[in-house]
Amino acid sequence: MKLLLKAVYDRYGYDFRDYARASLERRARMFSKKIGREYLSELIPLILRDELLFQRLVKEFSITVTELFRDPSSYKKIKEIVFPVLKTYPFVKIWHAGCATGEEVYSLAILLKEEGLYEKTTIYATAFNDEALETAKNGIYSIENMKQCTANYIAAGGSDVLSGYYFAKHDSVIFDKSLTKNILFANHNLVADKVFGEMNMIMCRNVLIYFNKELQNKVLNLFFESLVHGGFLCLSNKESLLFSEVENIFGITDMKEKIYKKLIVNE
């Protein structure tokens, strides 16, 4: 596994070496079986020679589990605590890091619109998986779980009707293009790429759980540098700044929903 990850980094520049090893190895072994290889060592020469096969492996490594208004209590708390502060700014910049296929970006855009914040907000939605980003840009999702998503929307404090933001076609729902007017979708790798500056809020949910401690600290420092003073960091309720390098330079806004605020650090 170590040699495979080094080969991927040396050949393509994608660095998975500090991802949580057990999860990554499980995915790599599943991928090996899919292509008819018993051992991980057999993957290395194949990946080095075949870029399309490498892209398939990257897709396996990219975690895209998400849904509209996932963990609705988090959105409700962001709406109650963070949005009133954002309303005091003349314009707002939000970075949604690790946006996967985009459902949670649309969730955020809908709540911003309902609170009268959308028009002065720019959302930077990033991921390193180009295929997932393309899905996010298109805003087309399966109609299958919309009943659950509607329940999530209501629990998140939605004040309208969720079906008013999309139209159904065959077995899919297509979100209104007006929701993407102020969203910039971009490829960004949290492991290797640089700061997104002057953000008022960063949302990164259920991403850090796939990183080891060293990479978590690297990414959390990146977030700290990317936020304005008093800017908000919103993680998932499965994640925490406890025992991290940045624990003492963020204040706790809501412990249960893992919402933090960047403190002014004296030089």
Residues 6+ apart with CB under 8 A from 221: 245, 246
Please indicate, yes or no, whether residues 34 and 82 belong to a single structural domain of this protein: no
Please indicate, yes or no, whether residues 137 and 241 belong to a single structural domain of this protein: yes
Question: How far, in Å, are 51, 61, 150, 198 from residue 221 at the CA level?
Answer: 32, 23, 35, 14
Q: Cα–Cα distance between 142 and 151 in angstroms, integer?
A: 16
The owner of tokens 């330079």 is 249
**Partners of 92 in the beta sheet?**
121
Amino acid identity, residue 97? A
**Partners of 250 in the beta sheet?**
262
| Mean pLDDT of all residues belonging to the chain | 93
pLDDT at 203: 97
Q: How far apart are the first and last CA of the chain?
A: 42
Query: Which domain-ending residue is among 36, 61, 86?
Result: 61
**Partners of 254 in the beta sheet?**
259
66 within a domain of the structure (yes/no): no
pLDDT at 267: 47
Average pLDDT over residues 150-154: 97
Please indicate, yes or no, whether residues 148 and 235 belong to a single structural domain of this protein: yes
Percent of the chain with pLDDT over 70: 98
CA atoms within a 13 Å half-sphere pointing along the CA-CB vector of 192: 12
Residues 75, 157: contact at Cβ < 8 Å? yes
pLDDT(29) > 90 = yes
Please indicate, yes or no, whether residues 176 and 153 belong to a single structural domain of this protein: yes
174 within a domain of the structure (yes/no): yes
Q: Cα–Cα distance between 161 and 132 in angstroms, integer?
A: 27
Q: Which domain holds residue 256?
A: 72-262
Query: Which domain-ending residue is among 16, 38, 61?
Result: 61
Q: Cα–Cα distance between 169 and 173 in angstroms, integer?
A: 6
pLDDT band of 142, cuts 50, 70, 90: very high
Q: Cα–Cα distance between 243 and 68 in angstroms, integer?
A: 30
- Selected residue with higher pLDDT from 14 and 235: 235
Tens of pLDDT, residue by residue over 84-136, are 999 999 999 999 999 999 999 999 999 999 999 999 999 999 998 888 999 99
67 within a domain of the structure (yes/no): no
86 within a domain of the structure (yes/no): yes
Please indicate, yes or no, whether residues 53 and 92 belong to a single structural domain of this protein: no
83 within a domain of the structure (yes/no): yes
Taking the CA atoms of 246, 247, 250 and 253 in sequence, report the sign of the dihedral they define. Answer: positive
Please indicate, yes or no, whether residues 231 and 198 belong to a single structural domain of this protein: yes
pLDDT at 174: 97
Please indicate, yes or no, whether residues 114 and 15 belong to a single structural domain of this protein: no
Say which CATH number the domain at 248 has. Answer: 3.40.50.150
If one counts the domains in the chain, the total is: 2
Q: Cα–Cα distance between 100 and 70 in angstroms, integer?
A: 13
pLDDT band of 266, cuts 50, 70, 90: low
Residues 6+ apart with CB under 8 A from 255: none
Please indicate, yes or no, whether residues 87 and 26 belong to a single structural domain of this protein: no
pLDDT band of 78, cuts 50, 70, 90: very high
Tens of pLDDT, residue by residue over 36-70, are 999 999 999 999 999 999 988 988 887 666 899 99
Tens of pLDDT, residue by residue over 228-252, are 999 999 999 999 999 999 999 999 9
- Smallest Cα–Cα separation from 234: which of 70, 96, 45? 96
pLDDT at 265: 66
Cα–chain center distance at 261? 18
Q: Cα–Cα distance between 154 and 133 in angstroms, integer?
A: 26
Query: Which domain-ending residue is among 42, 61, 80?
Result: 61
Q: Cα–Cα distance between 116 and 150 in angstroms, integer?
A: 21
**Partners of 142 in the beta sheet?**
172
